[in-house]
Amino acid sequence: MKGALHEEIAGARTAPQASHPLAARLAAGLAAGLLAWPLAALAGPRDDLLAGYSSAAKKVDPSFIGFSASRGDSFHRRAFAGGKAETPACASCHSNDPRAAGRTPTGKRIEPMAVSISAARYSDPAKVDKWFRRNCQEVLGRECSAQEKGDWLSFMFSQ
């Protein structure tokens, strides 16, 4: 008797999914939507960052037509001579693969830069500006241009 009751309860838990495929699909869709909601909420600040950099890039170069993840990828890996010797490229600390963790010259772990791995990254414009100021000085020996920032962010958003 105890086994039959257990089977009946277990069957009752799975019956709605088997007998109501539409309900199962709706539940799955709702779950996916709830999981995607935080990511969608972060898209606004990221879009605003890119819009600001785009506006600044157009002021410098009226022929500017948009950012490029491919240029951002090249920028990320390129070695520059103007910054610190131990950090000639973004990839010096942040790894060639933005989905992988990096390390500072002192060995401190840096969380992956790719949005696909670190979903909350780039949601605070003040933090983004702070890190661009600091890292561009260390790697390039100067501030990054608006186009360089936008290209690099486009690369991170594509990963």
pLDDT in tens, 79-138: 999 999 999 999 999 999 999 999 999 999 999 999 999 999 999 999 999 999 999 999
Over residues 11-27, the mean pLDDT reads 48
pLDDT for the residue 11: 46
For the full predicted model, state whether its pTM sits above 0.75: no
Judge residue 57's burial from the number of C-beta atoms within 10 Å of its C-beta, 0-12 exposed, 13-18 middle, 19 or more buried. buried
CATH entry, 38-158, from 3.40.190.10, 3.30.210.10, 1.20.1050.10, 1.10.760.10: 1.10.760.10
Question: Residue for token digits 């983004």?
Answer: 128
Q: Are 91 and 126 in contact (CB under 8 A)?
A: no
pLDDT for the residue 60: 96
**Above pLDDT 90, what percent of the chain?**
70
**Considering Cα of 90, then 96, then 100, then 102, what sign does the dihedral take?**
negative
Indicate if the pLDDT at residue 40 is higher than 90: no
pLDDT for the residue 45: 84
**Considering Cα of 129, then 132, then 138, then 142, what sign does the dihedral take?**
negative
